[in-house]
């Protein structure tokens, strides 16, 4: 049954229903089986409502997965960089090791490659995750746990390079041990000055 369109509040409710349905559909059938027709039916809206906000399935998948990740990985504040990073990576890695979540992340990557013009939500998602990690590094710098001349963007790339490589290739787990080692490596790298 299609949802009635009764103004801005109803439109936002329809948009949220589409995001929720997109996650459910992606988990059920994966990227290849994902269709706008099925998405609209599962969300209780018309196809035109989906296309009003997203030009393609790639765009809606990228935004749905990005929105979910932003709400499920908190920003820790333990008082030390090492503990903040460890907690952040443990939470991130545990979520990424969930087969359903890993499938979503891979689908988001595929969607952005398949349809570059619709990849903005994916890049926004990546930028928000990078910004979150950078906040932790900046806090560490404010507490003199990170060198004043440390390259925070490079440290961020190191962290997400491990996550995406292990997540996409799957040769080693994204487990608590990997989270602890990565946190320690970033703290050590951040404490060193650029020569």
pLDDT at 4 over 60: no
Percent of the chain with pLDDT over 70: 90
32-70 per-residue burial string, b: 16 or more CB within 10 A, e: under 16: eebebeebbbbbebeeebbeeebebbbbbbbbbbbbbbe
Q: Dump the DSSP string for 151-166.
A: -HHHHHHHHHHHHHHH
- Select from 1.10.10.60, 3.30.565.10, 3.40.190.10, 3.30.390.10 the CATH code of 8-53: 1.10.10.60
Ramachandran assignment for 87, one of left (phi > 0), alpha (psi -120 to 50 degrees), beta (any other):
alpha
Residue ranges per domain, the chain?
A: 8-53, 66-191
* pLDDT score at 183: 97
pLDDT at 105 over 50: yes
Percent of the chain with pLDDT over 90: 50
Q: Could you tell me the pTM of the whole model?
A: 0.73
Q: Which residue has the tokens 């040769």?
A: 171
Sign of the C-alpha dihedral, residues 146, 151, 152, 157?
negative
| Model confidence band, residue 7 (pLDDT cutoffs 50, 70, 90) | very low
| Model confidence band, residue 72 (pLDDT cutoffs 50, 70, 90) | low
* pLDDT score at 84: 97
* pLDDT score at 170: 86
Specify the higher pLDDT residue, 27 or 42. 42
Q: Which fold has domain 66-191?
A: Tetracycline Repressor; domain 2 (1.10.357)
pLDDT at 1 over 60: no
| Model confidence band, residue 190 (pLDDT cutoffs 50, 70, 90) | very high
* pLDDT score at 35: 95
Q: Distance between CA atoms of 80 and 158, rounded to whole angstroms? A: 20
Residues recorded for the chain: 195
Tell me the per-residue pLDDT of 111-141, one tens digit each, with 9 for 90 and over.
778 777 666 777 877 888 899 899 999 999 9
Sign of the C-alpha dihedral, residues 13, 15, 18, 19?
negative
């Amino acid at each position: 049954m299609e949802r009635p369109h009764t103004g801005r509040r109803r439109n936002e409710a329809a948009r949220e229903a589409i995001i929720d349905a997109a996650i459910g559909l992606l988990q059920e059938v994966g990227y290849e089986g994902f269709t706008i027709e099925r998405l609209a039916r599962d969300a209780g809206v018309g196809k035109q409502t989906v296309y009003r906000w997203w030009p393609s399935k790639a765009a809606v998948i990228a935004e749905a997965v990005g929105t979910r990740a932003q709400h499920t990985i908190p920003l820790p504040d333990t008082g030390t960089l090492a503990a903040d990073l460890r907690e952040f990576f443990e939470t991130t890695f545990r979520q990424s090791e969930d087969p359903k979540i890993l499938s979503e992340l891979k689908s988001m990557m595929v969607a952005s490659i398949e349809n570059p013009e619709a990849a903005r939500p994916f890049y926004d998602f990546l930028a928000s995750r990078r910004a979150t990690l950078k906040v932790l590094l900046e806090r560490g710098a404010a507490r003199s746990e990170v060198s004043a001349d440390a390259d925070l963007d490079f440290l961020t790339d190191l962290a997400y390079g491990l996550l995406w490589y292990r997540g996409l290739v799957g040769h080693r787990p994204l487990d608590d041990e990997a989270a602890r080692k990565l946190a320690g490596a970033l703290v050590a790298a951040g404490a060193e000055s650029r020569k």
